[in-house]
Structure 1
Amino acid sequence: MLRYLPFLLVLAVWIYAFIDVLNTPEKEVRHLPKVVWVIIVLLFGEVLLGPIAWFVTGKKRGPATGRAGGSRGGWVAPDDNPEFLKNLNKDLDDKRDEGK
């Protein structure tokens, strides 16, 4: 089983690169048209030259997003938003005042 591991790793990288090329928008592809990148990844996938070329030069890579303070500048969750918490406390105070 262990002797098949290198083959399976190459296959996994090859498939991942192929799907990554297909899912990448045309405006984020660098140096060559997207169709040419698909052909390169398919033809040179067995020796990992195509996928490595794609990962290194083919796609525009940017900073990771999705964290607080990222490029969006928004809040991750409502409990991290001070304005939301302030309004929540105000709503609780209003409900307490109505109950008296």
Structure 2
Amino acid sequence: MLKYLIVLLVIFDIYTLIDCAITPQEKVRRFPKWAWLLIILFTRTFGNIAWFIAGRPRKPRQNRGGKGRIIPPDDDPDFLRKI
């Protein structure tokens, strides 16, 4: 059982290192990419979790309305043209 846990942690380490390494520098949050790589390497599981919480770029949220953000009528150029 312990062997499987160790294998899973090693796989998680490798995945996190690769994910950090291929992320563009301008999208990395909090620290520079080189600092995140060192944190992940030297703090192991703590660094992996920290990368996913604080360093990894956020994914854009999906709007449920479909069209994007809601514009009030007095700021909407399409609405004002129709008047």
- CA 1:6–1:61: 2 relative to 1, 3 Å: same
Is 1:37 the counterpart of 2:36? The answer is yes
Distance 1:26 1:14 in 2: 20
Structure 1: segments with no counterpart, 5+ residues: 70-100
**Could you tell me which residue of structure 1 aligns to residue 77 of structure 2?**
none
**Could you tell me which residue of structure 2 aligns to residue 12 of structure 1?**
11
- SS where residue 59 of structure 2 aligns? coil
State the 4+ residue runs in structure 1 displaced beyond 4 angstroms: none
| Rg (Cα) greater in structure | 1
**Could you tell me which residue of structure 1 aligns to residue 59 of structure 2?**
62
What one-letter code is carried by the residue in structure 2 that aligns with 1:38?
A: L
What one-letter code is carried by the residue in structure 1 that aligns with 2:55?
A: G
Percentage of matched positions with identical amino acids:
37
- SS where residue 14 of structure 2 aligns? helix
Q: Which of structures 1 and 2 has the larger relative contact order (alpha carbons within 8 angstroms, sep 6+)?
A: 2
1:46-85 equivalences in 2 (<5 Å):
48-63=45-60
Query: How many pairs does the alignment contain?
Result: 64
Aligned-pair Cα RMSD in Å: 1.8
